[in-house]
Structure 1
């Protein structure tokens, strides 16, 4: 498998990442293939985000769906899209391993689409990077213009379909082919065959507005009620209705102090970028303590839950939006983030007690589990 078509990871990032589309023929030669029936089964679950699009009238329906919804569909011109299939199918979550040259905390989810001939979601653009991997059947992709806020959307559908699409390139993808599309590039995919399945690997790219709101809330939670606007240098006014430049300077300095603590911002960023997109149920107290886990590891390994997000900074491990402070060195934190299975022998003697302590927390966060089957 030559996923990047002969390019090194760095050359791909330098030449194509967030710059221009890139097509790789036979990027994957041994893909796990989820069936249309399995995908439809996921779409019936209430905790799974799914959509059904009919291309002849651009109708959008949201799941969960029922079996009869699929039984009544025509033979062509529709698409089923299911988000975050990696949360439910470990074999699809394993796809992320092929993109290990990109920060793991940038990875969002794997959306899977099943389409009949003519099925698609219309010409559109995304605000994030996406790798489109053809799994079965054929899909034609048309690449269009670089979009801005000036590009209008159609107002006759709930879908974000571009009112004007300026085609520049066109490719037909077959099983194993992969197309990278940068943010803001218009593209349109149309199924050419039945049982057309495409994996879409998307990456997190929070907007300025989103990050501002989230960071402001984080900062507000840590502010004292005594941190207030003050003007001990106030001078007598002739015009008491005027907001002066000095008044604005005071509030400007007050707000600037909130973003000057880089360590606090780093901690917020680690928590923010590992927050789960789905399944953010309240955490329960871990049912296994260090002694339990050490004893159980002698009998069976711990298995990584790929649906749980891990990242680290020196001194801190982030798991699904929570921060765990630790004395474990950075190489030990990296080791924990990279492991798919951990056995007793993997722990070794170096930092054994510290690693076991963090593993206990990770088991409590469902990041690792013992397979009871």
Structure 2
């Protein structure tokens, strides 16, 4: 990806400049980031997706000031003429090619951090109340208009009488109305409140992964332990004295446990493998349709639901890790970066790598790419 060229997407900044000046630092309002803007879905599309049990969706209503939250599947939406409701559909990029294409515009942020595209549609006055996110977000106005108020609030107190995380003491510092094609970037922790101005307001939200240290450790430790080969030293205590306090934890056992955890982390490339597998693990509601092997002379592209990363010695795809070196590593990294390989590049893979690619195609992780 070319990161040094200015782009209207970032108000004339290059991706490199944006990352230095704004990423996790300060907001950026971009007028006509998209000109023209093409919503990746219609209201009918979103309603159909919200009715499915494999799609994460929510319906937020504030009729007569009474905030209500309903988790999907949602069989029927209120009329667009009725003010005060919002439908949110998460992970739209997993279901619609146009949504995946929109998400890919933000790959100047590492894929390991990029999460998904959520799209909301709202009637007049619809919103989810003043709140803050623990991750960066790009808010794209896809249709209609939305009035935003934002503030760098550090003393937020949440209401305890509503089923959403709504700030009770919201203190906005700036406000603006976003028209179709406009975009607002907010760093983590910035309080914001968006209210639809008129019916048919559609907003896209590009979100990012922001794991906590505890959460990441909880994901990685089981994977590290899964790699154990069973040859580890068994605990012994030949110098244990007779216990006068039998319920007290033996200090030697605690030391043994600490050394065992440290050894698991320090196995060569173990942490890298565990992290790559965890970051590419598909979400619980994602599955792939089985397909056939790639036809001779065909290129390959990643399925829009596939997550692929790499490090110095591994390729990671959908929660699994593979060793790669030489030309195969170069080509597999290109597949991860470009999300596709042309037929000529596929033809340069070794027999072993091509067999692996065919297996990925059978699993539905990779799709044929015609050239």
How does the TM-score come out when normalised to structure 2? 0.86
Change (3 A) 1:11 1:255: same
Whether 1:60 aligns to 2:69 is yes
CA distance in 2, matches of 1:324, 1:357: 13
Structure 1 residues 233-242 or 253-262, which shifts more?
A: 233-242
CA distance in 2, matches of 1:249, 1:340: 46
CA distance in 2, matches of 1:207, 1:4: 28
Quote the offset at 1:269 in angstroms.
0.5
SS in 2 for 1:159: coil
Quote the offset at 1:98 in angstroms.
1.6
Whether 1:255 aligns to 2:261 is yes
Change (3 A) 1:343 1:15: closer
Whether 1:3 aligns to 2:1 is no
Change (3 A) 1:252 1:283: farther
Alignment of 1:194-273 (within 5 A): 194-223=199-228, 224=230, 227-231=233-237, 249-261=255-267, 263-273=269-279
Which of residues 159, 163, 166 is equivalent to 2:164? 159
Quote the offset at 1:114 in angstroms.
0.3
CA distance in 1, matches of 2:232, 2:215: 27
Aligned to 1:177: 182
Whether 1:107 aligns to 2:105 is no
Quote the offset at 1:95 in angstroms.
1.5
- Asked if structure 1 preserves the Cα contact closer than 8 Å seen for 2:133 and 2:189, the reply is yes
Aligned to 1:129: 136
CA distance in 1, matches of 2:350, 2:250: 61
Aligned to 1:331: 330
Change (3 A) 1:7 1:246: same
Quote the offset at 1:282 in angstroms.
8.4
How does the TM-score come out when normalised to structure 1? 0.86
SS in 2 for 1:59: strand
CA distance in 1, matches of 2:233, 2:162: 48
CA distance in 2, matches of 1:87, 1:364: 19
Alignment of 1:34-45 (within 5 A): 34-45=41-52
Residue segments in structure 2 that go unaligned for 5+ positions in a row = 1-6
Whether 1:362 aligns to 2:360 is yes
CA distance in 1, matches of 2:267, 2:67: 48
Structure 1 residues 316-325 or 133-142, which shifts more?
A: 316-325
- Post-superposition Cα deviations, 1:128-163, rounded to whole Å, max 9, x if no partner, equal 11111111111111112344xx74321111111122
- Asked if structure 2 preserves the Cα contact closer than 8 Å seen for 1:115 and 1:195, the reply is yes
Quote the offset at 1:7 in angstroms.
1.7
- Post-superposition Cα deviations, 1:6-57, rounded to whole Å, max 9, x if no partner, equal 2222221122111221111111113331211211111111111111111332
RMSD of the alignment, in Å? 2.8
SS in 2 for 1:308: coil
Alignment of 1:346-357 (within 5 A): 346-349=345-348, 351-357=349-355
Which of residues 124, 143, 146 is equivalent to 1:117? 124
Change (3 A) 1:254 1:353: closer
In the alignment of these two chains, the number of paired residues is 359
SS in 1 for 2:9: coil
SS in 1 for 2:151: strand
Quote the offset at 1:193 in angstroms.
2.0
Aligned to 1:313: 311
Aligned to 2:53: 46
CA distance in 1, matches of 2:208, 2:23: 12
- Post-superposition Cα deviations, 1:47-77, rounded to whole Å, max 9, x if no partner, equal 11111111332110111122xx325575211
Residue segments in structure 1 that go unaligned for 5+ positions in a row = none
- Asked if structure 2 preserves the Cα contact closer than 8 Å seen for 1:144 and 1:166, the reply is yes
